[in-house]
């Protein structure tokens, strides 16, 4: 075979980086190729900086090039660790998931889990592959909202390692601490134990290829949130709030948490849940029982995108209780609102991508 850049890349496209489980070319790990007669100079990245791992990859690369092109080839091969700030390094965990988004709230009771479930449903309806991690260790509710309370994840051997397989319903892959505890028992864990359990839900789970993985965070700002951003490469966060002042104060803290230097996660936007009450018998009426436009005004004041209003409608609660999120209903005020929310989040993700 003729020694050309194309032939070298063709061979390297069949060499798999052991940790990323992707070939060197598609994983964008080949930095430089220089050809001078029968001598090839290569600069290649690896996700494992250990000397023995770099040496093993070097031997693999050179063996394949000699075997497929010319046995008399000589090399100057440099195997380098991926820079910590690069996108490749960020995606060493969960590399087959395009977007990982945290759904957060400053306080409990604002409907964060309801928003997560319906956003997942809206994305699924739009044709995307979606998963949810219910990271609310002390109050998991996603199993109820998807009618899978009695389910238990199965284990599967993936590349010689036992992995958890998520439960699936309504086209959404689901993993919750609720699958591993009794429904009526309190989860009494210290912070480090909870953080370890959460980490395993990402690192020891076979999610496969997903467009979106949504993480339903516990309310507030604490150990679990910090452990999450140190473990998982978040692409962004959305903050859920109701319009009243006591919730807005905590939502402001939630937004500021993601902006901290040691966290630094883009805030996709703020969602106003329970924006108004509309009774079923008076569908045109709006009663602003928690205040009006509080979360919208907060978003404007903090220079954060506002993602939409979600009305307080009885059918949203009923749908969550029976395990079929309201977004799957047809042409109801709640499904229309959640569909609009889904579109707005997709738009803001595109805006964030353009800014990078």
DSSP-derived secondary structure for 102-156: EEE-SSTTS-HHHHHHHHHHHHHHTT--EEEEE--TTS--HHHHTT-TT--PEEE
Question: Is the pLDDT assigned to residue 94 strictly greater than 90?
Answer: no
Q: What pLDDT, on the 0 to 100 scale, is given for residue 121?
A: 95
Q: What pLDDT, on the 0 to 100 scale, is given for residue 273?
A: 92
- 208: CATH: 3.40.50.300
Question: Is the pLDDT assigned to residue 189 strictly greater than 70?
Answer: no
218 and 188 in a common domain: yes
Helix, strand, coil shares of the chain as percentages rounded to 5? 35, 25, 40
Cα atoms found within 13 Å of the Cα of residue 94, Cβ hemisphere only: 25
288 and 325 in a common domain: yes
Extract the tokens encoding 336. Answer: 């229309």
Sign of the C-alpha dihedral computed for residues 118, 123, 125 and 128 taken in this order: negative
Q: Which of 86, 115, 150 is the last residue of a domain?
A: 86
How far is 171 from 131, CA to CA, in rounded Å? Answer: 9
User: In 3-state terms, what secondary structure has residue 33?
Assistant: strand
99 and 9 in a common domain: no
pTM metric for this prediction: 0.74
Q: Tell me the average pLDDT of the chain.
A: 85
122 and 77 in a common domain: no
Question: Is the pLDDT assigned to residue 285 strictly greater than 70?
Answer: yes
DSSP string over 46-95: ES---HHHHHHHHHHHHHHHHHHT-TT-EEEEEEEEPPTTSHHHHTTSST
204 and 150 in a common domain: yes
79 and 112 in a common domain: no
81 and 115 in a common domain: no
How confident is the model over 288-347, as pLDDT tens digits? 988 898 989 999 999 999 999 999 888 788 888 888 888 998 888 888 999 999 999 999
Binning pLDDT at 50, 70 and 90, where does residue 92 land? low
329 and 186 in a common domain: yes
Q: Which of 86, 112, 130 is the last residue of a domain?
A: 86
Binning pLDDT at 50, 70 and 90, where does residue 210 land? very high
Mean pLDDT (whole number) for 240-261: 86
Strand partners, 131: 173, 213
The percent of residues in the chain predicted with pLDDT above 70, rounded, is 89
- Nearest residue to 14 (alpha-carbon basis) of 65, 48, 55: 65
153 and 111 in a common domain: yes
Q: Which of 58, 86, 114 is the last residue of a domain?
A: 86
Binning pLDDT at 50, 70 and 90, where does residue 118 land? very high
Q: What pLDDT, on the 0 to 100 scale, is given for residue 346?
A: 95
Q: How many domains does the chain have?
A: 2
Q: What pLDDT, on the 0 to 100 scale, is given for residue 230?
A: 66
Question: Is the pLDDT assigned to residue 132 strictly greater than 70?
Answer: yes
How far is 339 from 126, CA to CA, in rounded Å? Answer: 9
156 and 201 in a common domain: yes
Question: Is the pLDDT assigned to residue 249 strictly greater than 60?
Answer: yes
Q: What pLDDT, on the 0 to 100 scale, is given for residue 215?
A: 93
CB count in 10 Å sphere of residue 172: 24
DSSP code at position 217:
P
Straight-line distance from the first to the last Cα atom of the chain, in angstroms, rounded to the nearest whole number: 40
161 and 16 in a common domain: no
Place of tokens 């394949």: 64
CB count in 10 Å sphere of residue 294: 20
188 and 77 in a common domain: no
- 65: CATH: 3.30.300.130
How confident is the model over 150-178, as pLDDT tens digits? 888 888 888 788 889 999 999 999 998 88
Q: What pLDDT, on the 0 to 100 scale, is given for residue 27?
A: 78
Q: What pLDDT, on the 0 to 100 scale, is given for residue 245?
A: 84
Extract the tokens encoding 30. Answer: 């080949």
- Show the domain range for 229: 93-355
């Amino acid at each position: 075979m003729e020694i050309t850049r194309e032939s070298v890349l063709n061979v390297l496209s069949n060499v798999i980086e052991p940790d990323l489980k992707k070939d060197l070319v598609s994983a964008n790990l080949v930095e430089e190729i220089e050809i001078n007669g029968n001598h090839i100079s290569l600069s290649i990245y690896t996700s494992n900086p250990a000397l023995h791992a770099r040496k093993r990859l070097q031997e693999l690369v050179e063996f394949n090039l000699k075997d497929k092109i010319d046995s008399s080839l000589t090399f100057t091969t440099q195997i380098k660790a991926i820079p910590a700030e690069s996108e490749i390094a960020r995606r060493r965990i969960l590399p087959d998931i395009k977007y990982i988004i945290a759904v957060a709230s400053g306080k409990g009771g604002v409907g964060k889990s309801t928003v997560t479930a319906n956003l997942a449903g809206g994305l699924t309806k739009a044709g995307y592959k979606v998963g949810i991690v219910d990271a609310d260790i002390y109050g998991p509710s996603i199993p109820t909202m998807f009618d899978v309370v009695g389910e238990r994840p199965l284990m599967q051997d993936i590349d010689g390692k036992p992995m958890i397989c998520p439960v699936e319903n309504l086209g959404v892959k689901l993993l919750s601490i609720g699958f591993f505890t009794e429904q009526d028992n309190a989860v009494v864990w210290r912070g480090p134990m909870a953080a370890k359990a959460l980490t395993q839900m990402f690192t020891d789970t076979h999610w496969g290829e997903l467009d979106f993985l949504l993480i339903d965070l516990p309310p507030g700002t604490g150990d679990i949130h910090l452990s999450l951003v140190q473990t998982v490469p978040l692409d962004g966060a959305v903050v859920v709030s109701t319009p009243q002042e006591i919730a807005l104060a905590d939502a402001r803290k939630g937004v500021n948490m993601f902006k901290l230097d040691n966290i630094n996660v883009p805030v996709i936007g703020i969602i106003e849940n329970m924006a108004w009450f509309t009774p079923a018998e008076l569908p045109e009426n709006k009663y602003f029982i928690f205040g009006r436009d509080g979360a919208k005004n907060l978003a404007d004041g903090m220079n954060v995108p506002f993602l939409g209003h979600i009305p307080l409608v009885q059918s949203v609660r009923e749908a969550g209780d029976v395990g079929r999120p309201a977004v799957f209903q047809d042409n109801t005020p709640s499904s229309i609102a959640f569909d609009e929310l889904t579109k707005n989040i997709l738009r803001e993700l595109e805006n964030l991508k353009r800014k990078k």
